[in-house]
Structure 1
């Protein structure tokens, strides 16, 4: 049965998920939102199609680990007779000839470690979202798979006939596989794949070397940072919310969404977390993506999400030939949320973009033209701050004026005021400060619920129209709308904790939505709870909850979107950038300072 004990590999162009048996069970061509040639993860009981696996004859166990500070995976398979092989998986990424080499390719090296291992290579990519197996043709040392317009080519020094016929054979030396573009492999296969792996290893270890990690939980933070970077489509700078589609939020929920797109909101949190670690390369690429989005909007409405190539229309359909995760369809491609109105996105564009005006480390500093363009985004935040939207939780059947969206609009105006002041544009600073103050007054008048006559404290509510709570109100601190010691935040936090906390986990909201009442905790909200506990002076409790959440990670150090607070099982798309951001932010907040190193 499929589960989310998966190991991401990638190179910021293509990515894959390796299961605990060492099989490539998810991978899309030619990029993260493309056709899943490897789709066994969503293929129900049919685990021999849409997969690339090495089956060790008599296998009894498998262990896995990443090479330190890289996304290069080593899987060790052991057989009952004592035979052992290691499989090394990577996607090439390194600088050469003045550019970054990151092909649509996966390299695999299988090595005999002990005994006389015999293996079978199961390589069966599919096409058209699981409609059929890809057709094969072959040459002397390669196999062509007709996937997509150009296809894939496997170059190998293993016996091609054995692979095509699915035969088991003895492996007596290092054997190399390169699945990439349908073009001849240049150079000596053995030497080139080894060189690629070494260069890829060096690239990632040098990248990690530049991170400003907290003193505690360094391994956890580094693994999250690497994976967040893998979620960026470097060609355009877009950052996807997750690498998968249609992993349900809980058993049989039909809350199956395609997350292989760039949400303005999710990307804001991702670059914020990586920026705290000093990973400016991700921010710089993403700012370029945002500039293209803003240019395309021409001062108008910004969508909540776009494709990694900046496409605006992401029509939602279902893949008829895939049964879904554990048979729990539907499998969706595209996401109708692109049609929604979500006013928080204006703040989430402004907040990361203003760094481009003040951070002297950046290769390209923003200029007056960029500020004028950003003001157009601010105009939309000002115009829409008190208008109904679907909210950050993307309700499909109702609209309200959501407090989180209004606070994000306030933040947009507040940061524009600060940036204008920094740039010496005093008249613009005054305008944006006045607008920020006006939005604050609106929020205070419409989102605050006064305390009851029996002594109950007042609190902010999730929307202007209705008196319910959601976890996004905890973000009022991070957005600098309130200070942690503000009595209004403290009473709001108390109300949220009472209403939404389930033991060691947090719901995003408890009221019924389009699909009924939530049945799983939302992992990033639990991290927001941890942050709030620390800021409220309950740091030991916060550390305890943080360690609990770390204990729910997969072997690869990942979290998905949701978690069953009763069983601890992970649900939802994987790996979820929101959840990894939560690990980075909480580690930075809770860690002892480096000055305490003895």
Structure 2
């Protein structure tokens, strides 16, 4: 606290420790996942919860800055912020394991942070909703193992990333499906977001990977625009939104036709990274989980096989997209990076959904073996040096682990879903009643 303010009361350390242990033990007991990977799932859930700022409900992508994606390289970014995409997909993982309070907390954060004109929507904010995240370099710091520059702030905050609309609206849909009903403010926000997306979905953008090169019409961005429209239609038909869905039904079909026409390579039988390109993108592995196409569609199977074939490391892990070493790649950057953990969990899902559960399980267990001694994952993995890379721990990676574990368990017990909304379990009310609200006891700093 400031020097002119009286010092706060000194807490009793024994009482504080006991209270903290009680909170976490109660919280973990609420996990509804009882599958074979419970230990890994619980560790990931604890990690995601610990990366949530209690007073606001904001979830950071990672609690670190500038840990390199390539040791000695300059792909070093500040992840100490709340990305709408990362937070939304993290909440989907929490909902899938029975945690509804966190969804309510995040929705309150979202309503505060995104209030106003959707034209001014940022793809990330500070943990209390701060908007000024200007990126700067600290040249006097050498960086981790000489990986410079060290950056504070993140210039991607001002990018256009159209997929974010899909991720946010899909999470609002999942929350509604799990019993977190749309309130009036949520409905207003939802309607503003979809109206804005309807006007802009055709535009090129920087996409999920936040490229620093020229904007493109990324297939994943268009698929997620379809998701935003589809989930809006579903919510309106369920009575959660008061909207005329007829134009949206037409738009949903239009987006679907365009993606299949312009984003698919029939010669290689795979969806590509962007319209008219030859590059592949592991983000297209999400197509069956979104419900855009069913898992048994030949185009889905071909995409899984192509990503596995063309984006694979020597030992079978996958990169998110091709990089170009000393040359400038599609992302506008030089240098290389490691295999992206989240993309490998997407591959687990793709293999499972396309009828290869044994291969999916083998890959999943291999990824679990790459965690450190505390069960934590960074953003990437270097298969040559056999070390983790990037900011640590990474919410994206742990979210992917949880989602894959849920899918493998669901497919082992029932028919596979064609949509990412896995069955939402009932909450464990016994422990819920014993714990206080998120703002009371969870860590106050990310």
Q: TM-score range by the shorter chain?
A: 0.7 to 0.9
2:78 and 2:151 in contact (8 A); partners too: yes
Q: Aligned partners of 1:371, 1:542: CA distance in 2, in Å? A: 38
Q: Aligned partners of 1:413, 1:592: CA distance in 2, in Å? A: 26
Q: Aligned partners of 2:142, 2:151: CA distance in 1, in Å? A: 11
**Partner of 1:206 in structure 2?**
26
The one-character-per-residue Cα deviations of 1:567-592 (angstroms, maximum 9, x if unpaired) are 32101000000111121122222248
Q: Aligned partners of 2:242, 2:91: CA distance in 1, in Å? A: 29
What TM-score do the two structures reach when normalised by structure 2?
0.86
Q: In the superposition, relative to structure 1, how do residues 323 and 424 fare at CA in structure 2: closer, same or farther (>3 Å)?
A: closer
Q: Report the alpha carbon displacement of residue 376 of structure 1 after superposing the two structures with TM.
A: 1.2
Q: Aligned partners of 1:427, 1:256: CA distance in 2, in Å? A: 43
Matched, 1:518 2:329: no
Q: In the superposition, relative to structure 1, how do residues 592 and 434 fare at CA in structure 2: closer, same or farther (>3 Å)?
A: closer
Q: Aligned partners of 2:69, 2:3: CA distance in 1, in Å? A: 33
The structure with the largest helix share of the pair is 2
SS of residue in 2 equivalent to 1:212: coil
**Partner of 1:172 in structure 2?**
none
The one-character-per-residue Cα deviations of 1:187-226 (angstroms, maximum 9, x if unpaired) are xx7xx21111011101110011111113211111111101
SS of residue in 1 equivalent to 2:40: helix
SS of residue in 2 equivalent to 1:326: coil
2:89 and 2:171 in contact (8 A); partners too: no
The one-character-per-residue Cα deviations of 1:152-192 (angstroms, maximum 9, x if unpaired) are 9xxxxxxxxxxxxxxxxxxxxxxxxxxxx971544xx7xx2
Q: In the superposition, relative to structure 1, how do residues 389 and 183 fare at CA in structure 2: closer, same or farther (>3 Å)?
A: same
Of 388, 391, 413 in structure 1, the residue corresponding to residue 204 of structure 2 is 388
Matched, 1:462 2:273: yes
SS of residue in 2 equivalent to 1:395: coil
Q: Aligned partners of 2:6, 2:205: CA distance in 1, in Å? A: 46
Q: In the superposition, relative to structure 1, how do residues 259 and 588 fare at CA in structure 2: closer, same or farther (>3 Å)?
A: same
Q: Which region of structure 1 is more displaced relative to structure 2, 552-561 or 349-358?
A: 349-358
SS of residue in 2 equivalent to 1:506: coil
The one-character-per-residue Cα deviations of 1:544-582 (angstroms, maximum 9, x if unpaired) are 211111111111110000111223210100000011112
2:163 and 2:221 in contact (8 A); partners too: yes
- What's the RMSD between the two structures over aligned residues? 2.3
**Partner of 2:249 in structure 1?**
433
Q: Report the alpha carbon displacement of residue 449 of structure 1 after superposing the two structures with TM.
A: 1.8
**Partner of 1:126 in structure 2?**
none
**Partner of 1:120 in structure 2?**
none
1:346 and 1:380 in contact (8 A); partners too: no
Matched, 1:531 2:355: no
Of 581, 591, 596 in structure 1, the residue corresponding to residue 399 of structure 2 is 581
SS of residue in 2 equivalent to 1:288: helix
Q: In the superposition, relative to structure 1, how do residues 460 and 366 fare at CA in structure 2: closer, same or farther (>3 Å)?
A: same
Q: Aligned partners of 1:444, 1:278: CA distance in 2, in Å? A: 35
**Partner of 1:371 in structure 2?**
187
**Partner of 1:99 in structure 2?**
none
Q: In the superposition, relative to structure 1, how do residues 357 and 529 fare at CA in structure 2: closer, same or farther (>3 Å)?
A: closer
Q: Report the alpha carbon displacement of residue 406 of structure 1 after superposing the two structures with TM.
A: 0.6
Q: Aligned partners of 1:182, 1:554: CA distance in 2, in Å? A: 42
SS of residue in 2 equivalent to 1:570: strand
Structure 2 unaligned spans of 5+: 415-446
Report matched runs for 1:22-61 at 5 Å: none
**Partner of 2:418 in structure 1?**
none
**Partner of 1:276 in structure 2?**
96
1:266 and 1:577 in contact (8 A); partners too: yes
Q: In the superposition, relative to structure 1, how do residues 423 and 320 fare at CA in structure 2: closer, same or farther (>3 Å)?
A: same
Structure 1 unaligned spans of 5+: 1-148, 153-180, 452-456
SS of residue in 1 equivalent to 2:130: coil
The one-character-per-residue Cα deviations of 1:75-100 (angstroms, maximum 9, x if unpaired) are xxxxxxxxxxxxxxxxxxxxxxxxxx
2:67 and 2:76 in contact (8 A); partners too: yes
**Partner of 1:245 in structure 2?**
65
Higher RCO structure (Cα 8 Å, ≥6 apart): 2
Count of aligned residue pairs for this structure pair: 407
**Partner of 2:421 in structure 1?**
none
Rg larger in 1 or in 2? 1
The one-character-per-residue Cα deviations of 1:17-75 (angstroms, maximum 9, x if unpaired) are xxxxxxxxxxxxxxxxxxxxxxxxxxxxxxxxxxxxxxxxxxxxxxxxxxxxxxxxxxx
**Partner of 1:183 in structure 2?**
7
Report matched runs for 1:229-240 at 5 Å: 229-240=49-60
1:562 and 1:570 in contact (8 A); partners too: yes
